[in-house]
Structure 1
Amino acid sequence: MRKCAEIAGSGDTLARITAIPRRTLEYYLTGDREPKVARCVEIAKAVGVDIGWLASGEGPMLAGQSAPIPTVEVPGMEDYAFVPLYDAQCSAGDGAWNEGCRVLTHISFTRYSLRKQGLTPDHLSAIRIDGDSMEPILHSGDTVLIDHTRTAIEGEGIYILRLDGHLYAKRLQRNFDGVSIISTNKEYREVVVPRDRLNELEIVGRAVWAAGWL
């Protein structure tokens, strides 16, 4: 429940967009009272989380998000984790999302290097960037590694997000009006998702590694 308030921006915002009295919501946040099913549905829809996750704490957090595919194991390579690279097109320009994406191959990382960064292999995936709106940080064709556990905006960073059916790699910044979607290429304008539409913004995860050809 506290995670839902964080996604909404604050407890006050969550109360407003769900029409739940602030004091009642405070009881839910502190655990002094359990919400009825109808209230859980209202909250889940308002912030775009999965109702099963909200009720049990299990499974994918975001509505419509499938559980990460476990990394493969290779005999004799126990020190390495193999992260799936999907053929999903992550557009850093106009945006595109391919339904039914498949795993093209796996990228190997030492388990030590992932552990040092606080990353868990089973919650990682990789996709390729298409477009130039994140240059000079990310170039078209670069591969980015996504940490699917980091779906809340936290300081500076590049996030993979879905909005209006498209997949983007962008910087995100919370502000008074909502969330700003920022490109590093100055040719692209900043887009603001207002507070009353935040449930339409799905943060797939945070980009934690990138690589490409020189």
Structure 2
Amino acid sequence: MEMDYSDMDIREVRRRNLKSLMDREFNGVRGAQSRLAERLGKPQNFISRCLAAPERAGSKTIGEDFAREIEKAFGLDCYALDRPIAASADIKKPENNKDKESNVIAADFSSKGKLKDGEISIPQYNVRGALGHGQIPADYIETIRHVTVHESLLSGRGISFSKADNLAIITGFGQSMEGTINDGDPLIVDRGVNQFIGDGIYVLTWDNLLYVKRLQKHSPTHFDMISDNPRHKDQVINISDVTVHARVLLVWNAKKL
């Protein structure tokens, strides 16, 4: 039976992809969860909770870090577990004993269209999965999930980044950065930047809430957290209270014509 992943939450995509990996790698044998847990270096109970339906008590979300660990353990491309097209029909069983002995899953988690020279595939940064619901506005909606761009889009604008695998796309929210970033604007961010590296706009957590704000160094111990919208007050915040998740590289401002 082929699964429909088209409109599915990324957490549910990861859960179903992990189940498909387990079924194909261990052929549905008894104790498959235990063998999967051993492969991933996790307790069997932890894996059971990750595979449980979201509505079940005790179910656990497969977060950003664990998703990347799974891909590494199975020799998959980075963000392969996040791809909705990785349905059960796309995961092939090993064809011979050599495949089984090599302990490498025979799966096709590649995108439907191969990237051309110079193209970069940029996945959605699942901020809810990575940071938790409490830090995100209740009405936050991801406007774009994945995008493929040519590297000249960035290099032609003088934009540098840590590496292509660290690029992700998120959605701007709120009015505090209006004029620079409007509510709902897609943003390309560099998740390889996890500390302040100079004046710029960052995705950050402060006081247990997520912000997309301009940061400047106020003093050795404090930042200026700046809102580009003059109707919102700037704040001086303690550096030790700030967690930087990414730096914003590019904003796509959509205008109706």
- Classify the TM-score, shorter chain: 0.5 to 0.7
TM-score for both structures, normalised by structure 2: 0.47
With over 3 angstroms needed to count, the CA separation of the structure-2 counterparts of 1:185 and 1:167, relative to structure 1, is same
Cα 1:135–1:83 change in 2 (3 A) is same
CA distance in 2, matches of 1:105, 1:163: 25
Task: Give the direction of change, closer, same or farther, for the CA distance of 1:68–1:151 in structure 2 (3 Å limit).
Answer: farther
Tell me whether 1:118 sits opposite 2:160 in the alignment: yes
Map residues 22-61 of structure 1 onto 2, 5 A cutoff: none
Cα distance change on mapping 1:209 and 1:181 into 2, 3 Å: same
Distance 2:199 2:252 in 1: 19
5+ long unaligned stretches in structure 1: 1-63, 90-94
Letter in 2 for 1:161: L
Q: Where do 5+ consecutive residues of structure 2 fail to align?
A: 1-62, 69-77, 81-109, 129-133
Q: Distance in 2 between matches of 1:77 and 1:86?
A: 20
Pick from 238, 244, 252: which aligns with 1:203?
244
Tell me, what secondary structure is at the counterpart of 2:146? strand
Alignment of 1:1-214 (within 5 A): 66=65, 70=78, 73-74=110-111, 75-79=113-117, 80-86=119-125, 88=127, 96-97=135-136, 105-114=145-154, 117-119=159-161, 120-176=163-219, 178-194=222-238, 198-214=239-255
The one-letter code sitting in structure 1 at the alignment partner of 2:124 is L
Residue in structure 2 matched with residue 3 of structure 1 by the alignment: none
The CA deviation string for residues 184-213 of structure 1, in whole angstroms up to 9 with x for no partner, is 11111111113xxx3321011110011032
SS of the residue corresponding to residue 199 of structure 1 reads: helix
Alpha-carbon shift at residue 108 of structure 1 (Å): 0.8
Show the counterpart of 1:34. Answer: none
Q: What's the offset of the Cα at 1:66?
A: 3.1
1:42 corresponding residue in structure 2 = none
Q: Name the counterpart of 2:37.
A: none
1:181: how far off? 0.6
- In the alignment, the residues of structure 2 paired with residue 76 and residue 67 of structure 1 have an alpha-carbon distance, to the nearest angstrom, of 26
Identity %: 24
Q: Larger % of strand: which?
A: 1
Q: Please give the alpha-carbon distance, in whole angstroms, between the structure 2 residues aligned to 1:182 and 1:102.
A: 24
In the TM superposition, residue 154 of structure 1 has moved relative to its aligned partner by: 3.4
Number of residue pairs matched by the alignment: 142
**Does the 8 Å contact 1:88/1:128 carry over to 2?**
no
CA distance in 1, matches of 2:148, 2:235: 35
Name the larger-Rg structure. Answer: 2
**Range that drifts further, 78-87 or 163-172:** 78-87
Inter-partner Cα distance in structure 2 for 1:125 and 1:67: 17
| Aligned equivalent of 1:4 | none
After alignment, is 69-78 or 156-165 more displaced?
69-78
C-alpha distance in structure 1 between counterparts of 2:160 and 2:67, whole Å: 17
Q: Distance in 1 between matches of 2:203 and 2:214?
A: 9
Amino acid at match of 1:156: D
TM-score (norm 1): 0.55
Distance 2:137 2:127 in 1: 5
Matched AA of 2:200: G
Structure 1 residue 149, shift from structure 2 partner = 2.0
Q: Choose between structure 1 and 2 for higher RCO, CA contacts under 8 A separated by at least 6 residues.
A: 1
